[in-house]
């Protein structure tokens, strides 16, 4: 039984509490928040203990999930790792590469597991696309795009003094909202080599960007576009579009909208592509009203099932003494891409290579 503690009792923490409560082989022991009333409220709701300090929580658990503002992830995670506890940290892993690397190093040197939430990687639709792109079913890859045209009000940014700040949010629509889809498109396409970008603060009173456009070069020679926003009312369903020589796939929200492959070309292995076509995954019709019901406009509309699957995998990784499906090291990739986009924009759209 892996005993979990949840650190930070804000908007996202209930996903982690629910998961730890409901997964076989896991239990929720208690919670901690710098605001004791928030921890007390959660503790009452879940019938667990509200700890008065992080060290007290750490002394009673095997693992923590880190749900504090993004720029504090490494600080909290490193304390847990140094206490010999496994760490599952919310996205992004942290807001600077130095802090993120320090967390990875602390977990590795203390021999504890580190996972970072990227819950959409646990969606069947996304895994189908990843596998098809990587096993050659779509043919040589040409282009991979991520469009995250979301909407957040000024009240959202004003709801927490860390939101929309460089220090604790690390940026705006890309590092907070877009990071999921940037992680997925780079995973599906096989890694990013370089970016050229323009970002703007256009519609909110915040320090960071609320519109971003980037041209992407992938390691395999394909190209693509990343567009992120929290400025576009009413908030559109996010979209991944992948084009290979044999065909195209579009995933919108968590639905496969288009999966169209030239079977003849694929079966004959034209253009130097890979393997026989996989069966087309089931398609779901798009309901335009859904776009405004989901996280594209509502920060509280989240997909709990995928969090549960990721916490379950992390729990099994601890028990089976293996790496989790989404490691801390993997989470460095989307962070590097986002930081390179910011740097490119600062340099007037210069081409920035990802180290």
Ligand X SMILES: NC(=O)c1ccc[n+]([C@@H]2O[C@H](COP(=O)([O-])OP(=O)(O)OC[C@H]3O[C@@H](n4cnc5c(N)ncnc54)[C@H](O)[C@@H]3O)[C@@H](O)[C@H]2O)c1
Write down the H helix ranges in the chain. 13-22, 36-46, 54-58, 73-82, 97-110, 124-134, 154-158, 179-189, 263-268, 304-320, 332-346
Binding segment for ligand X (CB under 6 A), chosen from 68-76, 135-143, 253-261, 327-335, is 68-76
Determine which residue in the list 2, 6, 12, 106 makes contact with ligand X, applying CB under 6 A. Answer: 12
- CA-based nearest residue to 105, from 133, 78, 75, 67: 78
- CA-based nearest residue to 188, from 147, 253, 138, 115: 138
Interface with ligand X includes 30 (CB under 6 A)? no
The distance of closest approach from Cβ of residue 340 to ligand X in the complex, given in angstroms and rounded to an integer, is: 19
Q: Return d(Cα 36, Cα 32) in angstroms, integer.
A: 8
The distance of closest approach from Cβ of residue 159 to ligand X in the complex, given in angstroms and rounded to an integer, is: 8
Instruction: Name which of 79 and 243 has its Cβ closer to ligand X.
Output: 79
Interface with ligand X includes 69 (CB under 6 A)? yes
The distance of closest approach from Cβ of residue 31 to ligand X in the complex, given in angstroms and rounded to an integer, is: 9
β-pair partners for 200: 211
x/- track of binding to ligand X for residues 158-177 (CB under 6 A): --x---------------x-
The distance of closest approach from Cβ of residue 355 to ligand X in the complex, given in angstroms and rounded to an integer, is: 24
Interface with ligand X includes 68 (CB under 6 A)? yes
Determine which residue in the list 1, 25, 35, 260 makes contact with ligand X, applying CB under 6 A. Answer: 35
Determine which residue in the list 117, 226, 240, 311 makes contact with ligand X, applying CB under 6 A. Answer: 117
Instruction: Name which of 8 and 228 has its Cβ closer to ligand X.
Output: 8
Interface with ligand X includes 10 (CB under 6 A)? yes
- CA-based nearest residue to 93, from 70, 63, 64: 70
Determine which residue in the list 40, 83, 142, 302 makes contact with ligand X, applying CB under 6 A. Answer: 302
Q: Return d(Cα 177, Cα 227) in angstroms, integer.
A: 11
Instruction: Name which of 29 and 261 has its Cβ closer to ligand X.
Output: 29
Q: Return d(Cα 125, Cα 305) in angstroms, integer.
A: 14
| Whether 192 contacts 217, CB under 8 Å | yes
Count the site residues for ligand X by CB under 6 A.
Answer: 24
Interface with ligand X includes 100 (CB under 6 A)? no
Q: What is the CA radius of gyration of the chain?
A: 20
- CA-based nearest residue to 114, from 307, 314, 320, 306: 314
The distance of closest approach from Cβ of residue 13 to ligand X in the complex, given in angstroms and rounded to an integer, is: 6
Binding segment for ligand X (CB under 6 A), chosen from 63-71, 96-104, 124-132, 252-260, is 63-71
The distance of closest approach from Cβ of residue 69 to ligand X in the complex, given in angstroms and rounded to an integer, is: 6
Instruction: Name which of 83 and 142 has its Cβ closer to ligand X.
Output: 83
Please state, as a whole number, how many other Cβ atoms lie within 10 Å of the Cβ of residue 84: 11
The distance of closest approach from Cβ of residue 306 to ligand X in the complex, given in angstroms and rounded to an integer, is: 9
Q: Return d(Cα 248, Cα 273) in angstroms, integer.
A: 14
β-strand 211-218 against 223-229: which pairing, if any?
antiparallel
Instruction: Name which of 69 and 224 has its Cβ closer to ligand X.
Output: 69
Interface with ligand X includes 51 (CB under 6 A)? no
Interface with ligand X includes 119 (CB under 6 A)? yes
Distance of CA 308 to the CA centre of its chain: 14
CB-based burial of residue 48 (10 Å sphere; 0-12 exposed, 13-18 middle, 19+ buried)?
Answer: buried
Instruction: Name which of 70 and 123 has its Cβ closer to ligand X.
Output: 70
Interface with ligand X includes 349 (CB under 6 A)? no
């Amino acid at each position: 039984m892996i005993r979990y503690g949840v650190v930070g009792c804000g908007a996202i923490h209930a996903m982690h509490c629910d998961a730890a409560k409901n997964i076989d082989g896991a239990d929720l022991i208690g919670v901690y928040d710098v605001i004791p009333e928030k921890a007390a409220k959660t503790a009452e709701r879940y019938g667990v203990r509200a700890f008065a300090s992080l060290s007290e929580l750490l002394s009673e658990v095997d693992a923590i999930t880190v749900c504090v503002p993004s720029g504090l992830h490494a600080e909290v995670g490193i304390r847990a790792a140094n206490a010999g506890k496994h760490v599952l940290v919310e996205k992004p892993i942290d807001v600077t590469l130095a802090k993120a690397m320090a967390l990875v190093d602390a977990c590795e040197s203390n021999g504890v597991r580190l996972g970072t939430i990227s819950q959409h990687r646990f969606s069947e639709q996304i895994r189908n696309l990843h596998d098809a792109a990587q096993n050659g079913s779509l043919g040589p890859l040409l282009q991979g795009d991520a469009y995250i045209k979301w909407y957040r009000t000024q009240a959202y940014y004003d709801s927490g003094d860390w939101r929309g700040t460089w220090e604790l949010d690390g940026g705006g629509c890309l590092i907070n909202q877009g990071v999921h889809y940037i992680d997925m498109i780079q995973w599906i396409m096989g890694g990013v080599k370089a970016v050229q970008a323009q970002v703007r603060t256009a519609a909110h009173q915040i320090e960071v960007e609320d519109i971003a456009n980037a041209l992407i070069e992938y390691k395999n020679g394909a190209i693509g576009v990343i567009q992120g926003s929290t400025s576009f009312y009413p908030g559109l369903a996010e979209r991944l579009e992948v084009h290979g020589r044999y065909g195209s796939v579009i995933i919108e929200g968590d639905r496969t909208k288009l999966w169209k492959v030239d079977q003849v070309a694929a079966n004959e292995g034209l253009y130097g592509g890979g393997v026989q076509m996989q069966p087309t995954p089931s398609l779901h019709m798009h309901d335009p009203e859904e776009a405004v019901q989901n996280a594209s406009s509502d920060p509280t509309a989240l997909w709990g099932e995928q969090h549960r699957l990721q916490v379950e995998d992390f729990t099994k990784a601890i028990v089976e003494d293996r790496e989790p499906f989404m490691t801390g090291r993997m989470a460095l990739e989307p962070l590097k891409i986002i930081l390179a986009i910011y740097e490119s924009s600062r340099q007037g759209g210069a081409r920035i290579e990802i180290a």
